[in-house]
Amino acid sequence: MSARRWFPLLLIVTLLAGALMMERPRSGQAQSACEAPPQTGRQPYPAELAPLFVSAGNVTLGSAAPTPGLINKGYPTVTKVQPFVPCILLYAVGYTESAWYQFDVPSYGQTGETLISFDCGYGIMQITGSVYNNEHGRRVAGEPPYNIGMGVVSLVNKWNVSDFVGSNDPAVPEDWYFAVWAYNGYGWVNNPNNTSRFEASRPPFDGTQPRSWYPYQELVWGFAAHPPSYQGRPMWPAVPLTLPPRSSITNPVPDWIPRPLPAHAPCPSAPPQPTPTASPTPTRTPTPTPTRPAWTPFPLLGTPVYLPFLENSYEQP
């Protein structure tokens, strides 16, 4: 075959291969990356956001947020109960993810576009996966209550497939250790004994050390105990959550670990709760506290319902 005959074929093949290489999604990155366009909005102040975290954890935001599915409770016998996430964890996860910024602005109260990370994490809870250019995606991008609500959905999903702590009571923040770990990435990547990543002799995180020295869940625990301040006031009441001893987090992680004690109440604004007894004895049922959101929700088309068949899509927060 002469060069003139095979050259066009070679040209087409080469160009096609090149185009395929250029379009190939980067490993580990969702193919739906950054589909939802950024929305413009006013960044709420911390005082406006704090009650939203409480309401989102109590699943009382109504149509302003997606509705999570039922949550597992109990160990070793598991039952399904109404979903609930302790607000102290939502405060701290939200701060760890975005410093409570839904919009990419220099300070609270200003107007700007959605905070979108390079890997397409959206807003306060840095929601990823299935954030398409549709009603759901636009609300994740533009509505703080909806974004926090999606964080609740994701945490509940993580909880339902995580290993167990204590009596597996959603109302006990310490029982969320594995679920919070999974919110960022389960396994060795955040294992507290992964000392090729994390300095073995690190002191507990208090917000003043490099984040890169700590597993994700230790950052959340640390911020819960050491809330940052805004205008001279802590953004939430400090709760010194108890970490499990590192020696209990083996390689791989056991199916169950005892509840780290002392355990704490789910929300610092809630009435004091008795210290739960040593697990795995059953403890109290979560008692969601209806809280009216201080932030006015956007106009709504209807109450969004979390659809179980989309569960996999919400796997990566």
Task: Please give the residue ranges that form the binding site for another protein (CB under 8 A).
Answer: 3-4, 7, 10-11, 14-15, 17-18, 21-22, 24, 26-28, 96-97, 117-119, 121, 126, 128, 161, 184-191, 193-197, 199-204, 208-213, 216, 219, 243, 245-247, 250-253, 316-317
Q: Which is nearer to another protein, 145 or 222 (CB)?
A: 222
Kindly state the smallest distance separating residue 219's Cβ from another protein, in Å.
8
Strand 71-73 with 164-165, pairing: unpaired
Q: Which is nearer to another protein, 27 or 296 (CB)?
A: 27
Gap between the Cα atoms of 16 and 144, Å rounded: 43
Tokens linked to 304 = 């969004």
Tokens linked to 36 = 């939802």
The answer to whether the CB of 71 falls within 8 A of the CB of 80 is yes
Q: What are phi and psi of 72, to 5 degrees?
A: -75, 145
Kindly state the smallest distance separating residue 69's Cβ from another protein, in Å.
18
Kindly state the smallest distance separating residue 211's Cβ from another protein, in Å.
4
Kindly state the smallest distance separating residue 299's Cβ from another protein, in Å.
29
Q: Which is nearer to another protein, 14 or 303 (CB)?
A: 14
Q: Which residue in this structure is represented by tokens 């109990």?
A: 74
Kindly state the smallest distance separating residue 95's Cβ from another protein, in Å.
11
Q: Name the H helices within the chain.
A: 3-23, 46-58, 87-98, 135-142, 144-161, 177-184, 216-225
Gap between the Cα atoms of 316 and 92, Å rounded: 18
Q: Which is nearer to another protein, 222 or 286 (CB)?
A: 222
